[in-house]
Amino acid sequence: MDTFGPLVSAQELEDRLDTPVLCDVRWYTDGRIGREEFESGHIPGAVFVDLDKSLASPDNGAQSGRHPFPTAEDFAHWLGSIGVSPSIPVVAYDNAGGFSAGRLVWMLRMLGHPASLLNGGLPAWPGPLSTEEKLPEPTHCPTRPWPTALLATMDQVADHDGPIVDARGHDRFRGDHEPLDTQPGHIPGAISSPFVQNMVDGYFLSPEALRQSFADQGIDDAQNVISSCGSGVTACHNLLAMEHAGLGRGRLFVGSWSAWSRSDRPVATGE
């Protein structure tokens, strides 16, 4: 945890539990409530993070997508409210291998903030769970502008001549069904790269295995990659996987399919 790479093991976290602010970012699309899951048991000392309220601005129904980024000012204010200053590291987890917690880790890392994803998530934690929540002392966290070089606009996605990776499942990519957005399909030219293929049994593959997986998709350098998904959440998982693989940092299309499908842009279906 001294270098704060994109991943940290449960053993490393257990040895340094008092060092980072620990964030429980459980979030679901199946009707379960993250706060209720947190209250039923979480890693001791963790604070609950509501993805919809703290890691996104409200969906305004326009082409910004379902989970637009919060303003830099709102994000800094929220970080300070949970005791995070630029010198305080953060470790985030969920119970789905980083499905939702990866969003917070990526947002912080793109700001140059020390942040890691707990590899294996809550199931990897060997110790007892707690039902108590004690928020850290609030602190001041200065506003840091979102780095536009790591965020892709819809126009940039449309004109992109490099890989666009889509972290949704193959069925949603093909357009077999679409449970969340206005129409099925994918961005023309995108590559189906479900985030679940970055893992085995809930843990990230080794850097070597991830490099091979991305190489099989024609990716050996993340700098020319734009990562997309449904609404800019699981796309962060692919970005963290590329960084863990040593491929560098790609760009996030925050609006992702939820923004693209609301626009008048062309839509592709099938493989």
Residue type, 10: A
Three-state secondary structure call for residue 202: coil
Q: Which of 84, 126, 124, 132 is nearest to 107 (CA)?
A: 84
d(CA 173, CA 192): 6
| Contact yes or no for 192/186 (Cβ under 8 A) | yes
User: Considering only CA atoms, which of 210, 187, 196 is closest in space to residue 269?
Assistant: 187
Q: What are the helix (H) ranges across 123-197?
A: 154-159, 170-174
Three-class secondary structure of residue 77 per DSSP: helix
First and final C-alpha spacing in the chain: 40
DSSP conformational letter for 149: G
Q: Across-strand partners of 251?
A: 226
Residue tagged active-site, from 23, 141, 229, 236: 229
Environment class of residue 99 by beta-carbon count within 10 Å: exposed (0-12), middle (13-18) or buried (19+)? buried
**Residue in the structure block whose two tokens are 């506003």:** 143
Pairing of strands 21-24, 90-93: parallel
Reply yes or no on whether 236 is catalytic.
no
Question: If we measure between CA atoms, which residue out of 186, 159, 157 comes closest to residue 258?
Answer: 186
Which sequence positions are flagged as catalytic? Answer: 229
